[in-house]
C-alpha cells in the first residue's frame, strides 16, 4: 500500500468513525433527552452557591429544584435571606416573607482557673475524644476553634483574650458551627431570644467556682432580680421564659460572674463603659 493510499485510508477511517459516532451521539442525545425546567438554572444562579446544606437539601441545586417544583417556598434558603427570596419570588411570580435569620451564640466565655495543659490533636473534636472532660470544665468551650474552621462566612473569630466570638453581623445562621462543636456549646438563637446565659456547667456553685472564674455558680441572684418572673433555676443554671422576659437587664446587672448577657442589646452601663 502506497503512502497516498495509507493517508487516504486513515482519513477515511477517522472521518467515517467521527461521522458515525457523531450520528450515534446525536441519536442518543435525542432519544434520551431530559426535559429540565430552565428556571431551575436561573434560580440556582440567584442562590448563594456555597452549598452549605443549612436548608437541609443536597446543596443549592437541590434547593433550586425544590423551589421550582413548588415543594419549597422561595425563602427556603436561610443564608440568602430576604434579598434572595425577593429575587427568586420576582422570577417565579411567587412571594414569601422570610423571618430575620437566626444567629449563632457561643454559650461559654471561659476564664479557667487553670488552663488545661493539652498538647494533642489541635481540634476541639480531638480534645473531646482524647481527654473528654477530665481537665478543667467538662461542659464549656474548649477554644481550639472547630467552629471558626467550619464557618463558611468567617463570622467566628478569636478575640484578644483568646475567646471564641460570633460576629453577628456576618453570621448567616447556617448552623454548621452548632454541628461542629463537640460539646454543644453553640446554639442558634432567634433574634428575639436576646437573653443568654454564657455557661453550660450544671454542677453546684462550689465545683464551678473551683474550675472557672466566669462560670455560673447558681447563686440565684438573677432569679431574685427578675421582676417579671421570667427566670427560674433548673439544674443549677437559670432558664428563661422568653414570653415573660422584657429585656430590662436587671438580671444582667446583678450577675456576680458576668455570665449573663442580652445579645444585640447594649445596656445602660455597658454603653457608658464603651463611651
Binding site for other proteins (CB under 8 A): 1, 9-10, 13-14, 17-18, 21, 24-25, 28-29, 32-34, 121, 126
Cα separation, 37 vs 34, in Å, equals: 10
Among candidate residues 145, 136, 88, the one with its CA nearest the CA of residue 116: 136
Q: What is each CA distance from 42 to 54, 59, 94, in whole angstroms?
A: 20, 15, 15
Q: Which is nearer to other proteins, 24 or 90 (CB)?
A: 24
Give me the least distance between CB of 49 and other proteins, in Å please. 16
Distance in Å, CB of 18 to other proteins, minimum: 7
When the beta carbons of 10 and 90 are compared against other proteins, the nearer one is 10
Cβ nearer to other proteins, comparing 28 with 210 = 28
Instruction: With beta carbons less than 8 A apart as the criterion, state whether 253 and 225 touch.
Output: yes
Q: Could you write out the DSSP letters of every residue in 96-157?
A: ---PPPPEEEE-----BSS-----S-SSHHHHHHHHTTSSS-SSS---S-HHHHH-TT--EE
Q: Nearer Cβ to other proteins, position 9 or 170?
A: 9
Which residues are registered as beta bridge partners of 239?
232
Residue among 127 and 195 whose Cβ is closer to other proteins:
127
Shortest approach of other proteins to residue 29 CB, angstroms?
6
Q: How far is the CB of 16 from other proteins (least distance, A)?
A: 9
- Closest approach, Cβ 8 to other proteins, in A, equals 11
Of the two residues 71 and 90, which places its CB atom closer to other proteins in the complex?
71
Least Cα distance to 227 among 202, 245, 243 occurs for 245
CB of residue 25 to other proteins, shortest distance in Å: 6
How are beta strands 195-197 and 260-262 bridged, if at all? antiparallel
Amino acid at each position: 500500500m502506497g503512502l497516498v493510499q495509507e493517508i487516504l485510508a486513515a482519513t477515511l477511517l477517522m472521518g467515517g468513525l467521527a461521522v458515525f459516532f457523531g450520528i450515534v451521539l446525536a441519536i442518543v442525545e435525542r432519544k434520551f433527552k431530559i426535559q429540565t425546567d430552565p428556571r431551575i438554572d436561573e434560580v440556582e444562579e440567584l442562590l448563594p452557591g456555597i452549598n452549605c446544606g443549612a436548608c437541609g437539601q443536597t446543596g443549592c441545586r437541590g434547593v433550586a429544584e425544590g423551589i421550582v417544583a413548588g415543594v419549597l417556598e422561595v425563602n427556603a434558603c436561610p443564608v440568602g435571606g430576604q434579598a434572595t427570596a425577593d429575587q427568586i419570588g420576582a422570577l417565579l411570580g411567587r412571594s414569601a416573607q422570610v423571618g430575620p435569620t437566626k444567629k449563632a451564640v457561643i454559650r461559654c466565655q471561659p476564664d479557667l482557673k487553670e488552663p488545661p495543659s493539652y498538647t494533642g490533636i489541635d481540634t476541639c473534636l480531638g480534645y473531646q475524644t482524647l481527654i473528654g472532660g477530665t481537665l478543667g470544665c467538662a461542659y464549656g468551650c474548649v477554644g481550639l476553634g472547630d467552629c471558626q474552621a467550619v464557618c463558611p462566612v468567617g463570622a467566628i473569630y478569636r478575640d484578644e483574650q483568646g475567646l471564641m466570638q460570633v460576629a453577628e453581623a456576618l453570621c448567616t445562621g447556617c448552623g454548621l458551627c452548632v454541628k461542629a462543636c463537640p460539646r454543644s456549646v453553640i446554639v442558634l438563637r432567634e433574634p428575639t431570644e436576646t437573653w443568654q446565659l454564657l455557661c453550660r456547667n450544671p454542677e453546684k456553685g462550689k465545683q464551678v467556682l473551683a474550675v472557672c472564674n466566669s462560670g455560673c455558680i447558681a447563686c440565684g441572684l438573677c432569679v431574685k432580680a427578675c421582676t417579671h418572673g421570667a427566670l427560674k433555676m433548673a439544674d443549677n443554671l437559670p432558664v428563661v421564659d422568653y414570653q415573660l422576659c422584657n429585656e430590662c437587664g436587671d438580671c444582667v446587672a446583678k450577675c456576680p460572674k458576668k455570665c449573663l448577657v442580652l445579645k444585640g442589646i447594649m445596656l445602660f452601663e455597658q454603653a457608658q463603659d464603651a463611651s
